[in-house]
């Protein structure tokens, strides 16, 4: 069984916003990292963004120039799937059960019997993803929050077959990465996304009913003490990602009306208005 001290190399699948953040904090913690993506352009963007994040860390006195150089040199950016061999591999790709299952079956086939496989899924039950693996006891949820290099919380989710040893090692790893881990049992949305769904869904319902506009709703919520209103936060997370999670939870809870996805949000996704990352969401960031 893998022990915390055995972990030297961390694999990250998906070079999007979450994958970038996970790779960055892993490298800063002293681990060798391999960051994989299908698209070389995504890897170029990831390398650039990680560099910018580290520069901001230097400006704030949280990272030294030497630590930045060491971190960047510790990350291998690759489109070669066969290089995804590590002591723990963390997936941060699209929220689709079929895609995740196929990925982990391939990863299991080319890694050792000790390698821990972890999913950053925010809504898909860990037990479902691990069902067809030969070693589901080594599969666990490791749910970071956006932006991963800043947000402290990590949910460590155990599926039905996840061993206590696996969840404990991942829990301790999260602390080494500078995070505050919380153990959670397997359930749709786990803890945070289940509770937060009402924040987004009710905001969208208020918009649908014409009670106020996007800016008005956000201003009121922010004036009440929240750092961001629901629409600014959806734009930051990704309107498409947020919609995907809501849809997943709506189906997982047998179409419970309180999780009903919004048609307004669906139209944003259909239009490609995914928030900050696309330049436009509920707000326009292109200017």
Q: Which residues are catalytic?
A: 122, 143, 155, 193
Nearest to 12, CA basis, from 30, 3, 25: 25
Take residue 44 and report the two structure tokens written for it: 């170029």
Nearest to 81, CA basis, from 39, 113, 44: 39
CA pair distance 96, 270, nearest whole angstrom: 17
- CA within 13 Å, CB half, 254: 0
């Amino acid at each position: 069984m893998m022990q915390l001290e055995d972990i030297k190399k961390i694999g990250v699948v998906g070079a999007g916003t979450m994958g970038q953040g996970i790779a960055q904090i892993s490298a800063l913690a002293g681990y060798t990292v391999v960051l994989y993506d299908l698209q070389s352009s995504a890897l170029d963007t990831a390398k650039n963004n990680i560099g910018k994040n580290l520069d901001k860390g230097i400006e704030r006195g949280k990272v030294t120039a030497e630590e930045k150089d060491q971190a960047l040199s510790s990350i291998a950016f690759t489109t070669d799937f066969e290089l995804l061999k590590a002591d723990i591999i963390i997936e941060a790709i699209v929220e689709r059960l079929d895609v995740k299952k196929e990925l982990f079956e391939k990863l299991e086939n080319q890694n050792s019997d000790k390698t821990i496989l972890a999913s950053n899924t925010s809504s898909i039950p860990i037990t479902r993803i691990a069902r067809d693996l030969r070693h589901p006891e080594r599969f666990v949820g490791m749910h970071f929050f956006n932006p991963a290099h800043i947000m402290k919380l990590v949910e460590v989710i155990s599926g039905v077959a996840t061993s206590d040893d696996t969840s404990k090692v991942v829990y301790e790893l999260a602390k080494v990465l500078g995070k505050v881990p919380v153990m959670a049992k397997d359930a749709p949305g786990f803890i945070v996304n289940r509770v937060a769904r009402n924040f987004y869904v009710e905001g969208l319902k208020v918009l649908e009913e014409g009670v106020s506009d996007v800016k008005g709703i956000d201003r009121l919520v922010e004036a009440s003490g929240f750092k961001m209103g629901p629409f600014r936060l959806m734009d930051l997370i990704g309107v498409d990602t947020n919609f995907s999670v809501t849809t997943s939870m709506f189906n997982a809870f047998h179409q419970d009306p309180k999780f009903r996805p919004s048609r307004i949000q669906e139209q944003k996704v259909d239009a490609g208005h995914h928030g900050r990352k696309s330049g436009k969401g509920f707000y326009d960031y292109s200017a």
